[in-house]
Amino acid sequence: MSRSRRLVDIVRELKKAAPGALTAHQIAEHFSVSERTIYRDMAKLIDSGVPIEGEAGLGYWLAPDDGPPPVSLTWRQAQILWRGARLIALTAEEEFAQDAVKAQTQLTTILGGQRVSRLESHPILSLTDNLRPAPAVLAAFNRAMERGTGIRVTYVDLQEDDRIIEGTPVGITPVGEMRILTLSAPDGLVHLRAERVRKLTLRA
């Protein structure tokens, strides 16, 4: 069983046990994994925003949710929201990206492992020519990553204004035909759509 599927099923088991609690030992036996694995899984779920309370040695339970009222969604609507959260997690500023990851995790518990696996196997965006970055941009970005060299980017933002951004390349994330370039800049991580890079030069 994959970890993502196990996380979904752990939440389901906690729902079945509510308002009671389950110990890490009980959960570990149910999924045939170690208690240490369950501790890590619980930390991941809590960090992702799932309302779980408790700690090692005492057990875990689902806390009352003081968020917005429940919303009725069709499966398709939930899948669209999951895709949107995934796209924001990949492309937004750090603060919004973290919230998007939490939202995606919660939607994963609703959709279940099988549906999420199907979603993960399909690109978020359709193939579109104007999303394809210039090969030279990707090549230069990869060279800078290999050398650990800083870069200077001329970037066209969504308002069609030019921005100059300097930083150190961190990675390239594919989103359908689009490529997201991640840079470590003085103010933190910056995520850029590669097809909007007008010019990329390596700094000496």
Q: Residue 58: what pLDDT?
A: 76
3-state helix, strand, coil in the chain (%, to 5): 50, 25, 30
Phi, psi of 18 (to 5 degrees): -60, 140
User: HSE of 93 in the Cβ direction (CA atoms, 13 Å)?
Assistant: 4
d(CA 178, CA 159): 18
The predicted-structure confidence for 76-115, as pLDDT tens digits, reads as follows: 888 888 888 887 776 666 567 777 877 888 788 778 878 8
Let me know if the fold of 3-62 is the same as that of 129-202: no
Least confident of 45-49, 88-92, 93-97, 129-133: 129-133
Least confident of 40-44, 79-83, 127-131, 188-192: 127-131
At 141, the pLDDT band (50, 70, 90 cuts) reads very high
User: Which pair of structure tokens corresponds to residue 155?
Assistant: 């970037």
The structural domains of the chain, with segments of one domain joined by +, span 3-62, 75-120, 129-202
Q: Is residue 176 over pLDDT 70? A: no
Q: Is residue 129 over pLDDT 50? A: no
Q: Residue 142: what pLDDT?
A: 92
Q: Taking CA 105 as the corner, what is the angle to CA 102 and CA 111, rounded to the nearest 5 degrees?
A: 145
Task: Kindly state the greatest CA–CA separation across the chain.
Answer: 61
Q: Residue 131: what pLDDT?
A: 57
> How many CB atoms neighbour CB 128 within 10 A?
11
The predicted-structure confidence for 8-28, as pLDDT tens digits, reads as follows: 889 889 888 888 889 989 999
- Whole-number average pLDDT of the chain: 81
> How many CB atoms neighbour CB 92 within 10 A?
14
Yes or no: say if 89 and 104 are a contact pair by the CB < 8 Å rule: yes
> How many CB atoms neighbour CB 100 within 10 A?
19
Q: Is residue 118 over pLDDT 50? A: yes
Helices (H), 112-165: 113-120, 135-147
More confident: 128 or 156? 156
Yes or no: say if 119 and 82 are a contact pair by the CB < 8 Å rule: yes
Average pLDDT over residues 57-83: 75
CATH among 2.60.120.10, 3.40.50.150, 2.30.30.520, 4.10.320.10 for 129-202: 2.30.30.520
Please give the CATH number for the structural domain made up of 3-62. 1.10.10.10
Q: What b-and-e string marks burial along 169-194, b requiring 16 or more CB atoms within 10 Å of the CB?
A: beeeeebebbbbbbbeeeeeebbbbb
